[in-house]
Amino acid sequence: MQCPKCDCVQTKVVDSRTIEKGKVTRRRRQCLECNVRFTTFERIEITDLVIRKSDNTSELYSRDKLERGIWLSCGKLDITKKDIDEMISSLEEQWFATKEISSKKIGEDVITALKELNDIAYIRFASVYRDFKDVNDFIADIQKTFIKK
């Protein structure tokens, strides 16, 4: 593993433990050159899940791409990396049972999970995913989702 400070590839593992119900290994490493300590995470990368987009094109699933989109909706909120990682891992478990999934299904699943995590993150993600055009779209979604009649 390459040191983030000096780029040396000679490192040693100082501590190792599993997280996310045994699905991720967290390793504390130390550079043998500059002694800086850093953390790495090891998880199984699923590369054969195909995303079918709304324009009927396909692309391979990217956890990083999904995580970036979710973080944009969670900015400046009291949401931790652990919260996001656990949410995505839980969703991935459902999705990887199949070899192909629609982007619409992914978006709706993320919206549902964000609603359970944080209302503001939910509405931010929904506003982009559902392509709200004006404040009336926001109001309609908030009334439908949060205001029980």
pLDDT in tens, 77-119: 999 998 999 999 899 988 988 889 999 999 999 999 999 999 9
Domain identity same for 138 and 71: yes
Both structure tokens of 30? 């130390």
Domain identity same for 54 and 117: yes
What's the mean pLDDT when you consider all of the chain?
92
Determine the longest span between alpha carbons in the chain, in angstroms: 64
Q: Which residues of 51-64 are buried (b: 16+ CB within 10 A; e: fewer)?
A: bbeeeeeeeebeee
Domain identity same for 37 and 78: no
Domain identity same for 21 and 69: no
Binned at pLDDT 50, 70 and 90, residue 127 comes out as very high
**Share of residues in the chain with pLDDT > 90 (%):** 74
pTM beyond cutoff 0.85:
no
103 within 8 A of 54, measured Cβ to Cβ: yes
Domain identity same for 76 and 142: yes
What total of structural domains would you count in the chain?
2
Domain identity same for 58 and 38: no
Domain identity same for 29 and 10: yes
Both structure tokens of 105? 């299904």
Range of the domain at 9: 1-44
Domain identity same for 55 and 123: yes
pLDDT score recorded for residue 149? 57
Binned at pLDDT 50, 70 and 90, residue 23 comes out as confident
Domain identity same for 39 and 68: no
| DSSP 3-state of 25 | strand
Domain identity same for 121 and 139: yes
Give dist(CA 12, CA 107) in Å, integer: 40
**pLDDT reading at 55 higher than 90:** yes
Q: Which helix (H) or strand (E) holds 31?
A: strand 24-31
Domain identity same for 108 and 141: yes
